A and B are shown apart, each in its own frame.
Chain A
Amino acid sequence: MPAPGFASSLDRRRFLTETARMAAGCAVAGTLLASFVSRAGALPATALRPPGALAEADFLAACSRCGLCVRDCPYDTLTLAVPGEDVAIGTPFFTAREIPCEMCEDIPCVAACPTGALDPGLTDIGDAKMGVAVLVDEEHCLNALGLRCDVCYRVCPVIDQAITLEMRHNPRSGHHAIFLPVVHAEFCTGCGKCEKSCVLPEATIKVLPLHLARGVASDHYRLGWEEMQDKGAPVVEGIVDLPDRLPGPGTDNLATPGGFAPEGAGDFAPAFKLPGGKP
């Protein structure tokens, strides 16, 4: 018996065949599109998103590829990816080594974005997280070699917070200092100015996307000394503070040059003696 609405079973048959054919065709087309999308949607590590960009997965759902952020960037930092580049077609990005972000105070790129792909909640450019600078190659960084280049440190818009110079002993010369550029991720915006200005032919400091640049501590890890500071007392109540063991004389103990002398410790004596009678 023909289903209601169909003149004959032949009509119904044709309808069903046609529908099945369409559905199959669309399944194929959809699968092709989906696999192309997932491949073309990967972001290379050198491509940085504009300030305020949502996390990459959300960004690809949000950005309409209109290019208004590109138009309103006064420094021509941003470009829209064209086919042939490794970035999702039409989405905005920048390459730190080419033109970094100048961290405009009024963040015109975010203000221009109509879709919210650049989060309008970003009102202080200092809170931007486009990536994190990492001193990737201490073997070539001039400061790490003991010279005074300091360029990345000087150009950093968040100088002395995002990058500091940490004084270290220079074991090569034995009596000089190394002023090692150290990035503090909490303050680094990933603007890329340091990478852009590194004087070497290939930058030794590079801005990397957060997921490459940063590790993540396990949820249950606690740093005793931080907990102690927050709490003002040992983390575990009533813990017995045992005396610290110090190395004996003759060792390279900088805290007590000449080493710890057993005589000075009252009735304390080492638990065992080395053969030959030396303590």
Chain B
Amino acid sequence: MSAPKGRLAAQKWLITRRLSQLGFLMLFLSGPWFGLWIAKGNLTGSVTLDVLPLSDPFVILQSLAAGHIPATTALIGAAIVTVTYALIGGRVYCSWVCPINPVTDVAHWAHRRLNLPKGWQPARTTRLWLMVTVLAVSAATGTVAWEFVNPISLLHRGLVFGIGFGWTFVLAVFLFDLFVSRHGWCGHLCPVGAFYGQIGRKPVLRVSARARAVCDDCMDCFTVCPEPQVLTPALRGATGSTPLILSRDCTNCGRCIDVCDLDVFRFTHRFDATPAPGRVASKSRLTEPQP
């Protein structure tokens, strides 16, 4: 941590993200709370300002697997959502919209604070397997199966329509991430995040490790990134390789941008070809003799 930036600058994207998450929630809550109807419904399906239909494409896919052909409105809604995320990055849903993200973020923050061990770390591909399993269960039971347990909709629908015992599912995710598995839910298991990760193989909005040459291996970005495996190819790439974080697992959360004191990272688009020389090995504090 050389030349620390200001507290606010080091939280810029985090704060923006929290505002975005809160904003998406308020779009749904302003109606029931203040009678100001902007978005009606919840994250699985909604109408904004009485004109814009949106549907969760993963729910629609489960519905199809269960043998129901959804009506046109839902199909249009799912298409709009799919195209949007295909452009900005599927997992932008995770970082900027999903209400579970603050929960698992707080769990991870506490996990770090308490210096807890990593715990159970199933392969990152587990979520894809689970995603397929969910579709198979939908087909076998003829239901939108994941919606019976999905903590995202339980929380979001709960906040907008009334929660019942729904908070227990959310608490379970929190405790799981805190004590059982670091980044366990969003990083390894959540089939919804996995699904959004599959949307759009080439999203336009990307983070670039453009100034990777100055990286001194402080590892702050690796500590904070929910999907640290995505950093390596870009950050440790040699001159000539792309500094763009191309992995679909990157959620475009911008935390790496925030925490890096050397301003290695920045948001850019995938066609950005600004030359980014590889790292100068001698800069690494790992190779330096420790004082």
Contacts and interface: CB of A to CB of B under 8 A. Distances in A.
A67 B164 contact: no
B33 interface: no
Interface centre among A57, A79, A83, A115 (most CB of B within 10 A): A115
27 contacts: A18-B123, A29-B130, A33-B137, A36-B148, A41-B148, A61-B63, A61-B67, A61-B68, A61-B143, A62-B66, A64-B44, A64-B45, A64-B59, A64-B63, A64-B74, A65-B157, A67-B41, A67-B157, A71-B41, A79-B162, A80-B157, A80-B162, A83-B165, A89-B166, A114-B53, A114-B73, A114-B74
A68 B134 CA distance: 25
Given A58-B68, A116-B70, A82 B149 contact: no
A84 interface: yes
Interface in B3-47: 31, 40-42, 44-47
B97 interface: no
A60 interface: yes
Interface in A63-87: 63-68, 70-72, 79-80, 82-85
Contacts of A80: 157, 161-162
A62 B147 contact: no
B148 A33 contact: yes
A57 B142 contact: yes
A85 to B, nearest CB: 7
A82 B47 CA distance: 22
Contacts of B239: none
Interface in B93-132: 122-123, 125-126, 129-130, 132
B140 A116 contact: no
B142 to A, nearest CB: 5
B192 interface: no
A34 interface: yes
A67 B42 contact: yes
Interface string B189-230: 000000000000000000000000000000000000000000
A68 B125 contact: no
A86 B158 CA distance: 16
Interface string A48-60: 0000000001101
Given A34-B141, A57-B142, A114-B77, A82 B166 contact: yes
Nearest to A61: B66
B144 A66 contact: no
Nearest to B59: A64
A104 interface: no
B141 A22 contact: no
A30 interface: yes
Given A40-B148, A90-B157, A64 B56 contact: yes
Nearest to A71: B40
Contacts of B84: none
A58 B148 CA distance: 16
Given A29-B130, A89-B147, A64 B55 contact: yes
Q: Which 5 A-B pairs have the closest CB atoms?
A: A82-B164, A66-B45, A116-B71, A61-B66, A114-B73
B160 A67 contact: yes
B189 to A, nearest CB: 9
A25 B68 contact: no
A113 interface: yes
B157 A114 contact: no
B284 interface: no
A38 B45 contact: no
B262 to A, nearest CB: 37
B130 A61 contact: no
A83 B45 contact: no
A84 B70 CA distance: 28
